Structure 1
Amino acid sequence: MLPTLLRSPRLLRGEISASLVVFLVALPLCAGVAVASGVPAGLGLITGIVGGLVVGLLPGSSLQVSGPAAGLTVLVYEAVHEYGLSVLGAVVLAAGLLQVLLGVLRMGRWFRAISVAVVEGMLAGIGLTIIAGQLYAMAGATAPASGVAKLAGVPELLMDSAGSATALSALGVGAATIGLLIGWPRMPERLRAVPAPLAAVAVATGASSLLDLPVARLRVQGLLGSIQPPGGDDLARLAEVGVMGTVVAFALISSAESLFSAAAVDRMHDGPRTDYDKELMAQGVGNTVCGALGALPMTAVIVRSSANVQAGARTKASRVLHGFWLLLFAVLFPAVLKIIPLAALAGVLVFAGWKLVPFTQLRPLWREHRGEAVILAVTAVAVVALNLFEGVLLGLLLAVVKSAWDTSHLHIEVHGTDDTGDASPHPIRVTLTGNATFLRLPQIIDTLEELPRHRPLELDLAGLRHLDHACRTALTSWVDRHNQAIPTLVPAGSATP
């Protein structure tokens, strides 16, 4: 990579320019995601630095950028709240090692088989939870523990804030930040060269300082002071069932989000395609390093990755350099971060959460693929009402059931119903073609029960491509009982295999 850049000064300038754009996008997001996750802001910066300097050098995807992601804030917050900040590093480290193992076993490609509706539902549920939780942060209030309580308490929060000058100031800063983020694409082209999150946070910071607003500011330790390697007691807790469940959730969700991001980034450029197994191992190495430092987990982040591609990046150099700029800023200018209002970062996260909810896709998805829309909605509601892990499991279960139903295409033909008489000796022949599974049993039984009860039945199963044991047993038993009720006309056991 380096020899190629040195031989092409123009390419080197392009990579440096792209890296600066990604750095400016990543800086407020690293701090904001950390605060939303309930951990010190420095841990978010450490994860961003590792995502650039470590993962950026590894093979996999050339142009996507890794760092702390809004999609994991809910899971991290729950883990820190339940097990403590000191255990976070052990969980992230173990999740990283699990990702490396999955990559070695060439499981990366299988993550592409996860239902898109489940992933979008997961992100929508996370987005709604982030929005609800960060509204409390914007007002300087403490958010309830559950997602449902967060959403239900928003009206009361707004009413309580109306009587507090401090809360109104914070809400005003957050609302102004969101408004600037929404309106930034309509700004003149020269202004749009500055990334929207950076511009919004900078304007909110400047305005709150000039007006001397009574709002809470970001607390930042030195970079070395933020590092919290897990101790022996923390690693020992990995033997607990709940902690290991969190490890698995971290590994699977961050892997899925990273590899879906890689697929999206591949559609944005004409360069080398992603090697999913190597990318999974790269993410695992990054999370292992983050865990050893006690930092936040990382994923590939589509916001930073798309900014990287749109800024003209063509090699890994831009994402590596963005990690270097983060390190340089954190070491040389930590005081700058301390003047940023927490409400401004909360506004950035509210906007990010809103973008995670696929509002524009729901209506066309409902018209064209109603089952997928149901899976998306149920997954999102379950993530908010239960938790991230259980919500995703429920979504995956629904996706499997839907796939089984869709593949159980079955055609039923009935012949010989035109005979007359109270006791016709001619049997009614029922022919099944396609795939017969237990999911189609109600349809088949309903058809059989509509046939004349005084006529014998003959069930032809020869045209089936698939017949599961449950369906075969239920159908033959039903036909045998039916025919035994008219023993003078037909012997029992008339199903044709």
Structure 2
Amino acid sequence: MAASLVVFLVALPLCVGVAVASGVPAELGLVTGIVGGLVVGALPGSRLRVSGPAVGLTVLVYEAVRAYGVQALGVLVLGAGVVQLGLGALRLGRWFRAVSAAVMQGMFAGIGLVLVAGQVYALGDVAAPGGGGLGELAGLGALPGAVDPVALGIGGATVAVLVVWPWWRWGARLVPAPLVAVGSAALVTWVFDLGVRRVEVRGLLEALRLPSVDDLGLLAEAGAVGTVLAFALIASAGSLCGAAAVDQQHDGARTDYDRELVAQGAGNVVCGVLGALPMSAVIERSTAGGAPLGGVRAGARPKASRVLHGVWLLAFTALLPGVLGVIPVAALAGLLVHAGCRLVPVREVRVWWRGRDRGEAVVLGVTASAIVAWGLFEGVLLGLAFAVVKTAWDISHVHVETEDRGDAGVVVRVVGNATFLRLPKLLDALERVPRGQGVRLELDGLWHVDHACATALEAWEAGWGVEGQEEKAVGEAGAQEGEAEKGGAGAQGRMARSRSTP
């Protein structure tokens, strides 16, 4: 019971804040939180996850609402849920862990930077200029003269409380920082009747926008399909990464990633039918105040805790909806600025840069920068491309060893993995081998050779006049493999056969 109340107190301001930042009624964020508790919380998967509207999806939802309207949100979320159900049914959950950690961290860092850039305007009750991350960053120069100082003070105080409150461990265990920060801002706004923008209350039934059959036609558009896939993939990645992080903090049963995907998909299907926000497992709530994680250590029942938190959200939405109208938007913006900053993995970048993984830090930076400059989809694709190139470069280690045996000639050994990325280095080393004497080529230490390097080795053999048994063996292997294989495969086959020559 106590654990569920703590999770509810953390979820309440986050649900409202994510909804307002996404450009939809605040009640829709609460609906997603309710579904995350009552529906997803009752399904098997991660024992410790708590689901609701995720900060990482805020920017994407905002762009989707701006492009297609609030009425289309339900269809997009419904489609994302169906995709997640399919991924879970095909047992593809573990594949999400195969994505480069640098790309994943870069994706969340880019989302966090864009979120912060947008919410800085809301801190001062100023309308964001639009134009994506770059447009919002460019407009920051004109921000100082347009902000409302009262709203900025409320937003700044909210951020300060979020940073300072956790230092008081006893207080943080009793009341979570988000509730203290947003609750204090709402109380000050109400007592002094401050003239700042507040959350608009429409009522639960009025806010719900159930999709119709005609709305399903939106899924025939390529842009909408891309949005659906982005919802599904980002929500799944966030859920599974969060589950993995929570698993590291306890000794109980590990997460079943396929069941977790099915549970998240079922939740998003229900949210789509209700026209609410997409959901994801949220680590901030899963570990909030030590609950339900702390509850597990104390013998509590985590499943009951996450289901009951949905009950408390439902009760609040039904009995006290007017309380939302007291909350200043600047306070919610401060909450999301703080959450967006936490999405930027400063500690990981510092560790990677100081160690031997500077390439990982570069991949993260490229991914985040591309998301800010061009968008989420483009940024992730570019990050994946950089990660593949980095991996190929890391494993492409090849070096040439030469041994002068006097009258017996020169022995040339090629060792490592010969790919086109290291071809210039390979050619430079081979060209330093002296001409005019017998050359024996040994490839026993060559584990892999691609078509470009195989062709280069053949050309070098012909130009340098490789002699003796090695030359004969290479020629015989080339003739045999040339009959069995074609093109680049034949070239690699010839190199592989030549390794076994004594």
8 Å CA contact 2:292–2:305 kept in 1: the answer is no
Give RMSD over aligned pairs. 2.3
Distance 1:211 1:58, change over 3 A: same
8 Å CA contact 1:435–1:464 kept in 2: the answer is yes
Which aligned pairs between 1:427-438 and structure 2 lie closer than 5 A? 428-438=410-420
Which aligned pairs between 1:54-203 and structure 2 lie closer than 5 A? 54-143=39-128, 144-161=130-147, 167-187=148-168, 189-190=170-171, 192-203=173-184
Distance 1:466 1:326, change over 3 A: same
Aligned position for 2:379: 391
8 Å CA contact 1:89–1:230 kept in 2: the answer is yes
Farther-moved stretch of structure 1 (239-248 vs 186-195) = 186-195
Aligned mates of 1:388, 1:437 — CA distance in 2 = 31
Aligned position for 1:325: 312
Farther-moved stretch of structure 1 (225-234 vs 39-48) = 225-234
Aligned mates of 1:336, 1:120 — CA distance in 2 = 36
Aligned position for 1:471: 453
In structure 1, what residue type is equivalent to 2:377?
A: F
Distance 1:432 1:151, change over 3 A: same
Aligned position for 1:8: none
From 393, 414, 429, the equivalent of 1:405 is 393
Q: Note the C-alpha offset of 1:274.
A: 0.8
Aligned mates of 2:411, 2:226 — CA distance in 1 = 53
Q: Note the C-alpha offset of 1:71.
A: 0.5
Aligned position for 1:13: none
Aligned position for 1:7: none
Matched, 1:28 2:10: no
Q: Note the C-alpha offset of 1:218.
A: 0.1
Deviations 1:151-201 (A, max 9, x none): 22223212333xxxxx11111110010011111023362465111001000
Deviations 1:304-325 (A, max 9, x none): 0111334414331100000111
Aligned position for 1:422: none
Ranges in structure 1 where 5+ consecutive residues have no aligned partner: 1-15, 162-166, 420-424
8 Å CA contact 1:457–1:479 kept in 2: the answer is no
From 358, 363, 367, the equivalent of 1:375 is 363
Deviations 1:445-468 (A, max 9, x none): 222233346667554333322222
Aligned mates of 2:202, 2:436 — CA distance in 1 = 85
Distance 1:448 1:189, change over 3 A: same
Distance 1:451 1:69, change over 3 A: same
Aligned mates of 1:297, 1:183 — CA distance in 2 = 31
Aligned mates of 1:153, 1:141 — CA distance in 2 = 11
Q: Note the C-alpha offset of 1:442.
A: 2.4
Distance 1:444 1:323, change over 3 A: same
In structure 1, what residue type is equivalent to 2:358?
A: R
TM-score, normalisation: structure 1: 0.89
What is the SS of the residue equivalent to 2:416?
Answer: strand
Distance 1:263 1:193, change over 3 A: same
Q: Note the C-alpha offset of 1:437.
A: 2.1
Aligned mates of 1:136, 1:114 — CA distance in 2 = 34
Aligned mates of 1:457, 1:80 — CA distance in 2 = 69
What is the SS of the residue equivalent to 1:59?
Answer: coil
Aligned mates of 2:220, 2:332 — CA distance in 1 = 36
Aligned mates of 2:2, 2:209 — CA distance in 1 = 33
Aligned mates of 2:165, 2:452 — CA distance in 1 = 59
Aligned position for 1:206: 187
Aligned position for 2:226: 245
Deviations 1:48-100 (A, max 9, x none): 11111000011111111011011011111111122222222111111111111
Deviations 1:352-389 (A, max 9, x none): 01111112232221122111111111111111111111
Aligned mates of 1:337, 1:327 — CA distance in 2 = 14
Ranges in structure 2 where 5+ consecutive residues have no aligned partner: 476-494
Q: Note the C-alpha offset of 1:295.
A: 0.9
Distance 1:463 1:187, change over 3 A: closer
In structure 1, what residue type is equivalent to 2:150?
A: S
In structure 1, what residue type is equivalent to 2:371?
A: V
Distance 1:223 1:454, change over 3 A: farther
Farther-moved stretch of structure 1 (339-348 vs 394-403) = 394-403
Aligned mates of 2:191, 2:310 — CA distance in 1 = 31
Distance 1:346 1:456, change over 3 A: farther
What is the SS of the residue equivalent to 1:401?
Answer: helix
Aligned mates of 1:248, 1:436 — CA distance in 2 = 37
What is the SS of the residue equivalent to 1:336?
Answer: helix
Aligned mates of 1:87, 1:197 — CA distance in 2 = 30
8 Å CA contact 1:405–1:439 kept in 2: the answer is yes
Deviations 1:387-419 (A, max 9, x none): 111111211222222222223333431223x86
Which aligned pairs between 1:272-287 and structure 2 lie closer than 5 A? 272-287=253-268
From 414, 425, 448, the equivalent of 1:443 is 425
Aligned position for 2:292: 309
Aligned mates of 2:123, 2:339 — CA distance in 1 = 14
Aligned mates of 1:77, 1:149 — CA distance in 2 = 15
8 Å CA contact 2:49–2:281 kept in 1: the answer is yes
From 323, 330, 352, the equivalent of 2:339 is 352
